[in-house]
Copies of this chain bind each other. A is one copy, B any other.
Amino acid sequence: MKISTKGRYALRMLTDLAEHQGEGYIALKDIAKRQNISKKYLEQIVILLHGSDLLKASRGPNGGYQLAKAPKDCTVADILRQTEGSLAPIACLEAEPFGCERVEECLTLPVWKGLYKQITDYLEGITIQDILDHASQNAPLNFVI
Q: Which residues of A contact B (CB under 8 A)?
A: 1-4, 7-8, 11-12, 15, 19, 36, 76, 80, 84, 87-91, 102, 106-108, 110-115, 117-119, 122-123, 126, 131-132, 134-135, 141, 143-145
Closest residue on chain B to residue A91 by CB atoms = B2
Q: Are B117 and A118 in contact (CB under 8 A)?
A: no
Inter-chain contact A119/B111, CB cutoff 8 Å: no
Given A118-B122, A145-B113, A11-B91 contact (CB < 8 Å): no
The 8 Å CB contact of A114, one of B7, B12, B132, B145, is: B145
Closest 4 CB pairs of A and B: A114-B143, A118-B122, A107-B135, A11-B108
Which of B12, B84, B90 contacts A8 (CB under 8 A)? B90
A8 contacts across to B, CB distance below 8 A = 90, 108
Sample of 17 A–B contacts (CB below 8 Å): A1-B84, A2-B90, A11-B111, A12-B106, A12-B108, A15-B107, A15-B108, A107-B131, A107-B132, A110-B131, A110-B145, A113-B143, A115-B119, A115-B122, A115-B123, A117-B145, A118-B122
